[in-house]
């Protein structure tokens, strides 16, 4: 399990570094402007006033909330309840197909619009990143909270955090240097 945390941290570090380098190399482009400008174009319409820019920000926020709720709630439901061959269907076949098709069609449209927004100006990239952080924190908190059983007085009775079984360390494992050897 500790490997997942390391991989997540490396994933974040790699893309943050890449974005930093690309941002530095293109620091004089129109992408790094904030607020409305004559170079901010959304589907051939210039966003050059504060009301238009504010409407686009509101659209970005609402769109990202729906996108993340879909990926954090609907996608796992589709995978675990509908596409899982070991689970029984909770809905009819027609409703199950509708859930998956609505989700993936919305996902495709959202992805297209999101990419278009991300390449307009850096302020929309920042807004989207902040919304992603807030929504994923909230949904993760909700799921983790659901894994705890609380008594009537608020004390935690049982915590369902995975604890790997204790195993004896084989002789060919060097604990000090974290080196494996077959023989």
Domain regions of the chain by residue span = 32-143
The reply to whether the predicted model has a pTM over 0.95 is no
Q: What integer is the mean pLDDT of 124-153?
A: 79
**3-class secondary structure per residue, 25-46:** HCCCCHHHCCCCCCCCEECCEE
Give the chain's radius of gyration (CA, Å).
Answer: 23
DSSP secondary structure code for residue 89 in this structure: P
The pLDDT value recorded for residue 38 is 86
| Model confidence pLDDT, tens digit, residues 26-56 | 777 888 888 888 888 888 888 889 999 999 9
Half-sphere exposure of 143 (CA within 13 A, CB side): 11
- At a CB cut-off of 8 Å and minimum separation 6, what does 72 contact? 135, 136, 139
d(CA 174, CA 141): 37
| Model confidence pLDDT, tens digit, residues 53-105 | 999 999 989 988 888 888 888 888 888 888 888 888 888 889 989 999 999 89
| Model confidence pLDDT, tens digit, residues 141-171 | 887 877 765 544 555 555 555 555 666 655 5
């Amino acid at each position: 399990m500790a490997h997942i945390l390391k991989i997540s941290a490396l994933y974040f570090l790699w893309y943050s570094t890449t974005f930093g380098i690309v941002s530095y190399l293109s620091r004089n482009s129109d992408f790094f402007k904030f607020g409305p400008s004559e170079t901010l174009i959304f589907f051939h319409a210039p966003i050059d006033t504060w009301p238009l820019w504010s409407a686009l920000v509101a659209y970005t926020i609402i769109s990202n909330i729906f996108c993340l709720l879909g990926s954090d709630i609907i996608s796992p439901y589709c995978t675990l309840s509908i596409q899982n061959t070991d689970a029984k269907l909770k809905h009819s076949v027609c409703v199950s197909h509708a859930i998956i098709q609505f989700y993936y069609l919305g996902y495709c449209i959202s992805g297209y619009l999101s990419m278009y927004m991300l390449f307009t100006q850096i302020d929309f990239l920042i807004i989207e990143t902040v919304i992603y952080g807030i929504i994923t924190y909230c949904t993760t908190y909700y799921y983790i909270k659901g894994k705890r059983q609380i008594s009537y007085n608020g004390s935690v009775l049982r915590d369902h955090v995975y604890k790997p079984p204790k195993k004896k360390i084989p002789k060919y494992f060097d604990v000090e240097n974290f080196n494996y050897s077959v023989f």
